[in-house]
Amino acid sequence: MPVDVQNMQKVFARPNSLTDAKSTYCPGCHHGILTRIIAQTIDELGIAERTVGIAPVGCAVFAYRWYRCDAIQAAHGRASAVATGVKRANPSLIVFSYQGDGDFASIGTAESIHAANRGENITVIFVNNQVYGMTGGEMAPTSLVGQKTTTTPQGRDPKLFGYPIRFSEMIAQLDAPVYVTRQALYDTKRIKEATKAIKKAFTNQVKEKGYSLVEVLATCPTNWRMKPIDANKHVANVVEKTYRLGDLVNRG
Amino acid sequence: MGKRLLLRGNEVIAEAAIRAGCQCYFAYPITPQAELLQHMAVNMPRLGRTFVQAESELAAINMVYGAASAGVRTMTSSSSPGISLKQEGISYLAGSNLPAVIVNIVRGGPGLGDIAPSQCDYFQATKGGGHGDYHMIVLGPSTVPEAGQLTMLAFELADQYRTPVMLLADGMLGQMMEPVELPEPIEISSLPQKEWATNGAKGRDPNIVLSFDLDPEVLKHMNLILQERYRQIEAREVRYEETATGDADIAIVAYGTVARIVKTVIKMARAEGIKLGLFRPITLWPFPGQALRKLSEKVATVLTVEMSAGQMWEDVRLAIAEQAETPFYGEMGGVIPTPQRILSEVKKHAS
């Protein structure tokens, strides 16, 4: 049957807030899905003209390229402090940081916890893929017990390297944060839930409710040495056992 | 004109920053600059401006990075060990072309050192203390009133050249009280718009603040822009003061607190018939090397006096080369040279 291009109905499109810059992420990595969800959220809330994104150091270092809004590239681990500076300077801006597990939960530990503890009215997207992706697959603070990485070739031994850090649970025991949740992206159901969570985290900020953190369990097929489909299964079957999905704080 | 007030150096710097339109101040407590932080804690919220006691120096300088990106005048202050922690952030500010003011009330080092006045952070301040090819403008006040004036100037230069500017004062200046006439406040609304700021992409393309590019040719270009700006600053912004150099046979080069002590030494020396003058750099970067070189053509000896092991001395020798004798006298660890001791050093070299 010939296709009538003129009269095709548009059912799916790139969000306006998502640029057409070429992605730097590996095939099968969840960063791309997450980036799209954030752009879509910015569109839905109509906040592109007052949003400032903070890019981390790590695989998401190019995050300033993906969104059609103002952006700042921050020093490794300091994105939450930079976000604090932007938001305090101009509270009418919507400020989000996008940080990996090394950035947010290792080198940026102090900045991450204290921004949350001050209840900064910002939105933090924390991508937990249990590995340092950009530098070559080293152990992350979130790496699982026994996980083989380039710096734990025998697997993460808790006696030597400690345990996977449940950073969102640490944030959740503070008084100030209004929303702390852990989400995943390995199937449609999880993507829909994560989308809702991210929208809530941005909406909280728009409504001036305070600090929101969305941790997202993501895959790293390249450094996990897995096919994308197996990486998805790994999150569902293995990673989730250490990092349980769901809301940890919801004072919204 | 404003009335004269008896104020501590740290308070004057804080008050001058407020009058210069500093809208966001972030810092972490450390001696001997605590009064600066405390003054800001009281007065910034009262004016509807931002004061945040940061969890660390790292956080403070990165909050400055954020506020500077958003286009407001912003400052942090600390003392030597804390300034070491800020170096990463200062490098990012320089690399990202962001204006900000950093105050260092220098204390004795290295390591934890002590809390007494020192000039041992000159290298760190003037040579680019963090990673990468960069400079800050570095201003070295010699008195409490000048600390206020140079704080105002620091904000102006930071905005004009989109660069971090450091006020390099020592613990003596921070702690000392002097009568001061505070500078007139500027009108924040009269400041030029910062078209590059990340303050919402409304009716324009998005602005990006970054110090990063993986393409070496692009990063080289970014570096060349910085270097061109540094050459402009060197051409336009050199500041120094000469005292009693007109007929001098011997000149001292000193900045900050030491320069002030040398003014007493000049009187003592001249009473004994020694024609001593003072060359006082006010901008430590850019260093007033050409003017110093000129002076060295008129005097036989240029004695550098510092509260360090001879950090500025390197710049002095670089400027003067073989044109004059260039001896050095320094104290370390927070010891302040007395006028008598400096005079005896002068006598060693006076013909």
Tens-place pLDDT, residues B322-341: 999 999 999 999 999 999 99
Domain boundaries, chain B: 4-188+210-236, 240-349
Report the gap between the CA of B98 and the closest CA in chain A (Å): 11
The domain of A85 spans 31-250
Token reading at B154: 């620091």
Quick one: pLDDT at residue B271?
A: 98
Nearest to A86 among B56, B89, B198 (CB): B198
Closest Cα in chain B to A82:
B66
Is position A9 within any domain? no
B240-349 has the same fold as B4-188+210-236: yes
User: Hey, is the C-beta of B209 within 8 angstroms of any chain A C-beta?
Assistant: yes
Token pair 């301040």 is found at: B125
Distance from CA of A189 to the nearest CA of B (A): 33
- Least CB–CB distance from A89: residue in B24, B89, B92: B24
Domain total of chain A: 1
| Region B36-54 average pLDDT | 98
pTM confidence score:
0.97
Chosen from B91, B188, B207, B209 to mutate, greatest number of chain A CBs within 10 A: B209
Would you state the structure tokens that stand for residue A226, as one six-digit string?
């897995």
C-alpha separations of A109 from A80, A103, A212 in Å: 10, 8, 16
Name the residue among A112, A25, A123 with its Cα closest to residue A65.
A25
Strands A51-55 and A94-100: parallel
Contact yes or no for A88/B44 (Cβ under 8 A): no
Residues A95-121: what's their mean pLDDT?
98
Whether pLDDT at B1 is above 60: no
* Mean pLDDT within A155-181: 98
Using one digit for the tens of pLDDT, what is the confidence trace for A117-160?
999 999 999 999 999 999 999 999 999 999 999 999 999 999 99
Cβ-defined contact of B70 to A111 (cutoff 8 Å) = no
The two three-digit tokens of residue B56, written as one number: 């660390």
For chain A, percent of residues with pLDDT exceeding 70: 99
Give the pLDDT of residue A3: 76
Average pLDDT over residues A221-246: 98
Q: Which amino acid is at A186?
A: Y
The model's confidence at residue B238, banded by pLDDT at 50, 70 and 90, is: very high
Instruction: Please give the C-alpha separations between residue B256 and each of A186, A206, A238, in angstroms, as whole numbers.
Output: 62, 48, 62
Of B60, B66, B96, the CB nearest to A89: B66
Give the best residue of B22, B63, B101 to mutate against chain A (max A CB count within 10 A).
Answer: B63
pLDDT of residue B351: 66
| pLDDT tens sequence across B189-205 | 999 999 999 999 999 99
Q: What is the CATH number of the domain that holds A129?
A: 3.40.50.970
Contact A71 B198 (CB under 8 A): yes
Residue A140 lies in a domain: yes
Name the percent of chain A lying above pLDDT 90: 95
Residue A50 pLDDT exceeds 90: yes
B contact test, residue of A84, A112, A120 with most B CBs within 10 A: A84
Average pLDDT over residues A27-48: 97
Model-level ipTM above the cut of 0.90: yes
Closest A-chain CA to B89: A75
> How far apart are alpha carbons A70 and A63 in whole angstroms?
11
- Measure CA of the first residue to CA of the last residue in chain A; give whole Å: 51
Q: Which DSSP string do the residues of A140-156 spell out, in sequence order?
A: PTTPPTT---SS-TT--
Q: What is the CA radius of gyration of chain B?
A: 20
> Does the residue A7 lie in any domain?
no
Measured CA distances, B67 to A228, B34, B64, B299, B324 (Å): 40, 22, 5, 48, 47
Q: Is A127 a member of any domain?
A: yes
What is B4-188+210-236's CATH number, 3.40.50.970, 3.40.50.2300, 3.40.50.620, 3.30.470.20?
3.40.50.970
pLDDT at A236 over 70: yes
Q: Are the C-beta atoms of residues A115 and A145 closer than 8 Å to each other?
A: no
Cβ pair B66:A73 closer than 8 A: no
CATH topology of domain B240-349: Rossmann fold (3.40.50)
